[in-house]
Amino acid sequence: MTTVRHAMTYFESSARRYRYVFRGSMFASFLNPILFLSAMGLGLGQLVDQQAGEAVIDTFSYVTYLAPGLMATTAMSTGASDSSWPVVAGLKWLKTYHGVLATPLTVGGLVLGHVAFVFTRVLFVSLVYGLVAVAFGALELPRALLAILPAGLTGLAFGAAVMGFSSYLDRDVGLANLFRFGITPMFLFSGAFFPITQLPEFIQPLAIATPLWHGVELTRAAGLGVSTSWHPVLHVLVLAAFTVIGLVVARRKMTMRLIS
């Protein structure tokens, strides 16, 4: 219970700091889906629809197929970004985490509070994305709202996992490599833009091993009412595993760096 109470305190502190950048963040949250759905959904999507007919994939137009996938990738990007440079800054550059631990808060409360705030941020961004998708006619409102939770779970998994990774770093080179060789390939090849069955067979297992593929599957199933490749519970368990492992790793490593 002490850890939960400390997590709530750190969450409140993060929310107070977020007030100062809320307007800019909200503007970006609306601009991102508008640009992506305009360029990829309506622009490229019209060309795809003209070549393949109105029903491109599973009886859906391309913009409809694309919308929940982009919701999941945005959740991934938000979770990963909020748990990368800010975490290294708190540990090494600005040492704000040292100041946090000068209070009664514990490392466990700090880690849990940070990930809880990231999860809340991802839910908000996913809500905005869903509303923009509805405005574009890509999703129906009930389905768009239903897709928020699996997108949130995707962002939560990445937020925790990237926090665990970032807890080992002192420089931003590792973060640049993470986004260059990890986040960007996942964004492109985890089923958001096309089914992974279109990939070469030897690459498909790599796509399945990524948490983003499981998040895309769940978000698309919720947003479009289609079935998932695996049982939904299995997809949730994979995302939960990444979340738990990330939390455990982050707590242990940050305890070593901040206390030991």
Residue 137: give the domain boundaries: 2-258
pLDDT for 42 equals 67
Closest to 7 (Cα-Cα) out of 116, 167, 157 = 116
Confidence of residue 30 (pLDDT cuts 50, 70, 90): confident
Confidence of residue 33 (pLDDT cuts 50, 70, 90): confident
Query: Distances from the Cα of 118 to the Cαs of 78, 163, 229, in angstroms?
Result: 8, 11, 28
- Condensed to tens digits (0 to 9), the pLDDT of residues 189-245 reads 999 998 999 899 999 999 999 999 999 999 999 999 999 999 999 999 999 999 999
Q: Looking at the predicted structure, is the pLDDT value of residue 57 above 70?
A: no
Q: Looking at the predicted structure, is the pLDDT value of residue 55 above 60?
A: no
Q: How many domains does the chain have?
A: 1
- Condensed to tens digits (0 to 9), the pLDDT of residues 114-173 reads 999 999 999 999 999 999 999 989 999 999 999 999 999 999 999 999 999 999 999 889
Is 71 in contact with 147 (CB distance < 8 Å)? yes
Encode burial over 1-38: b for 16+ CB neighbours within 10 A, e otherwise: eebeebbebbbebbeeeeeeeeeeeeeebeebbeebbe
**What would the 3-class secondary structure string for 114-171 be?**
HHHHHHHHHHHHHHHHHHHHHHCCCCCHHHHHHCHHHHHHHHHHHHHHHHHHHCCCCC
Alpha helices in 37-106 (DSSP H): 45-52, 62-82, 85-88, 96-100
Q: What is the model's pTM? A: 0.93
CA distance between the termini of the chain: 23
Confidence of residue 46 (pLDDT cuts 50, 70, 90): low
Distance of CA 82 to the CA centre of its chain: 10
Q: Looking at the predicted structure, is the pLDDT value of residue 61 above 90?
A: no
Tokens at 66, concatenated? 């694309």
Helix, strand or coil, per DSSP, at residue 202: coil
Average pLDDT, the chain: 91
Q: Name beta bridge partners: 60.
A: 57
